Amino acid sequence: MIMNSLAWLFDTILHYLRIALFAYIMMDLLVKFDAINTYNRLVLAVINFLSRIFEPMLKIIRLVLPKVGGIDISAIILILLLEFISHLVQEYAYGPY
């Protein structure tokens, strides 16, 4: 019973982490394409907050995996890793599908 609750909590945290990572990717692209600028304090605060969360994780992946044709796929790898961990937790808590 407690294990199911902890698994649910951990899975929910991973879900919101994936959503925040997607928001970070989109905001980073919008800043790079000059659709939004960082002169806005709110935009700057959100980007800095998300950067502090995700850049350490992305940096580890970038060290292991080089750019493929000049394209950085570290965020895609991180999303896949988060999804894999989520499935492991669900399988451990609820049993095989």
In whole angstroms, give the CA distance from residue 41 to residue 24: 16
Check residue 95 and report its DSSP letter. -
95 pLDDT above the threshold of 80: no
| Phi, psi at 71, each rounded to 5° | -105, 130
Q: Which ranges constitute the DSSP H helices of 33-69?
A: 41-64
List the structure tokens of 31.
């800043």
Q: For residues 71 and 50, what is the distance between their CA atoms, to the nearest angstrom?
A: 21
Q: Name the pTM for this structure.
A: 0.86
pLDDT by residue (tens digit) across 3-43?
Answer: 888 888 999 999 999 999 999 999 999 999 999 998 999 99
Phi first, then psi: give them for residue 55, nearest 5 degrees: -60, -40
Q: Give the residue extent of every domain in the chain.
A: 2-94
